[in-house]
Amino acid sequence: MKPVRWGILGAANFAKEQMAPAIHAAKGAELAALATSSPEKAAGFLAFCPGLKIHSTYEALLADPTIDAVYVPLPNHLHVEWTLKALTAGKHVLTEKPIALQASEIDQIIAARDASGLLAAEAYMIVHHPQWQLAKKWLEAGEIGTLRHVDAAFTYCLTDMENIRNRPEAGGGSLRDIGVYTFGSARFVTASEPVDIAARLILENGVDTFAQVSGIMDGPHGRFTYESITSMRLYNRQVVTFQGDKGMIRLDGGPFNANYNDIAEIELHQNGNKVITERFPTANHYVLQVEAFGRSVREGVAYPCPLEFIRGTQAMIDTVFKVGVEITL
């Protein structure tokens, strides 16, 4: 089957280090073009993909008739604009998270997607990883009994104040950067939505550097309590637990950055001190994401993480900003 030919808008470090190599390695994909006006930045991509075509502008890449799909790793506040431009140019588009800064903005992307018949998606890679799919399978199989509580934490310490995550005009803050993981992972595994939310936020220079969220979620597994902590000022920590009345599913060691800090691992704890551990040392969720995207484009397979799901997570973030109480420690 003909591979999907990819172009990348902008030579972001994350694109160079993660997504461009993933596109280059994925089955059914070909990394074909990059848009950047910087020869120095282009050099990092050409080092592992020497045949890459370099366009000096984003518009030139979108006008390239040989490109089927584009990946958008631009700063958060530019995501909606260039996602829509890519669709208008007739390109399938995978945009880095968050694809929008408000849930309502995603509606226009969905409308453009439907009108064009093209695939538009947010690069929410974790749902493609087997550890998260196994968590969902275990929960649905009743391995932990009745679900009672979910808690998630994602923290790291960012001291570079010039980083776009520390800039409000660029859509910075912990919730938009990593809240999509603590919220979205709970929604994905449980297929549930929040019915009550409370939050405490610490703001610095107009961005949330800490968010403590609690609430109640409801779905096919009934109602359960939920807690989340995100921060850009704490030591690295990533952990998610799903607790039932007969067991617990725990993802630790970097479940949102699988095999980066530690080997991807998931544990099933059950009565009688029984623990089942599954490890995934070779699974690359970025590669799996690109391959899933390609199957949807070439074979018409339903994309595992549609924009409608992404909108739900953004709506949850919107609510936290609305109800959150600013605190000072």
> What does the DSSP assignment read for 162-211?
TSGGG-GGGT-SHIIIIIHHHHHHHHHHH--EEEEEEEEEEEETTEEEEE
Match 């990883």 to its residue by tokens.
129
Within a domain: residue 228? yes
Q: Residue 293: what pLDDT?
A: 98
Same domain, 88 and 146: no
Catalytically active residues, by annotation: 97
Length of the chain: 329
Same domain, 70 and 150: no
Same domain, 62 and 184: no
Per-residue pLDDT band at 328 (split at 50, 70, 90): confident
Same domain, 70 and 94: yes
Per-residue pLDDT band at 253 (split at 50, 70, 90): confident
Within a domain: residue 269? yes
CATH number at residue 290: 3.40.50.720
Q: What is the DSSP pairing of strand 92-95 with strand 193-204?
A: unpaired
Within a domain: residue 134? yes
Same domain, 14 and 81: yes
Same domain, 12 and 35: yes
Same domain, 93 and 138: no
Count of domains forming the chain: 2
Contacts of 255 (CB under 8 A, 6+ apart): 126, 131, 132, 185, 238, 239, 240, 264, 266
Same domain, 98 and 141: no
Same domain, 171 and 278: yes
Q: What is the DSSP pairing of strand 92-95 with strand 69-72?
A: parallel
Q: Tens digit of pLDDT for each residue in 19-51?
A: 999 999 999 999 999 999 999 999 999 999 999
Residue 240 CB: number of other CB atoms within 10 A?
A: 24
Within a domain: residue 85? yes
Q: Residue 143: what pLDDT?
A: 98
Structural domain harbouring 224: 126-283
Same domain, 31 and 60: yes
User: From CA 94, how far away is CA 284, in angstroms rounded?
Assistant: 17
Within a domain: residue 192? yes
User: From CA 48, how far away is CA 64, in angstroms rounded?
Assistant: 22
Q: Residue 261: what pLDDT?
A: 74
Q: Tens digit of pLDDT for each residue in 51-103?
A: 999 999 999 999 999 999 999 999 999 999 999 999 999 999 999 999 999 99
Q: Tens digit of pLDDT for each residue in 168-209?
A: 988 899 999 999 999 999 999 999 999 999 999 999 999 999
Same domain, 132 and 252: yes
**Burial annotation 300-322 (CB, 10 A radius, 16+ → b, else e):** eeebbbbbebbbbbbbbbebbbe
Q: Tens digit of pLDDT for each residue in 142-154?
A: 999 999 999 999 9
CATH number at residue 154: 3.30.360.10
Same domain, 148 and 117: no
The pLDDT of residue 218 is above 80: yes
Read off the pTM: 0.94
Q: Residue 259: what pLDDT?
A: 84
Number of alpha helices (DSSP H) and beta strands (DSSP E) in the chain:
11, 15
Portion of the chain with pLDDT greater than 90, in percent: 94
Q: What is the DSSP letter of 221?
A: T
Q: What is the CA radius of gyration of the chain?
A: 20
Q: Residue 248: what pLDDT?
A: 98
